[in-house]
Amino acid sequence: MFDLKKQERFIILILVFALLLGLSILYYKKSHSRSGIILGKFSARYEEELAKRKVNINSAGSSELAALKGIGPAMALRIVGYRDSNGPFASIEEIEKVKGIGPALFGKIKDDITVD
């Protein structure tokens, strides 16, 4: 085998095995991707579906709340803190009691939130 030492042949064998294993994993991922998600990216249809869905302000976590228009991570934590201190929101309008959420911001998010 090209006058290679035993150790060199062993290293080449390991490298070939690693290459074949990597190619097998890549092939498996491509052939078994879930519908709607391709290589970790959301399809346009899935993103549209997410946009249509309303966020329940009584059960959403801070990351879901932060995804709303005009609500960042700090405001999302305030909403969760208010909810933890005062109990669930009775109506979507009650979110205006959270410091920093006034009529303008409420107008931006009212169509995207629910308490159901």
Domain contains 43: no
HSE-up (13 A, CA, CB side) for residue 56:
6
Domain that includes residue 83, residue range? 50-114
Residue 55 and residue 90 share a domain = yes
Look at the chain and report how many structural domains it folds into: 2
Domain contains 71: yes
Residue 57 and residue 93 share a domain = yes
**pLDDT tens, N- to C-terminus, the chain (116 residues):** 478 888 988 999 999 999 999 998 888 777 765 544 444 455 566 556 666 789 999 999 998 899 898 999 999 999 999 999 999 999 999 999 999 999 999 999 999 999 98
Residue 110 and residue 55 share a domain = yes
Tokens of 40: 């970790």
Residue 98 and residue 65 share a domain = yes
CA distance 78 to 86: 12
Backbone angles phi, psi at 33, to 5 degrees: -70, 145
Residue 56 and residue 10 share a domain = no
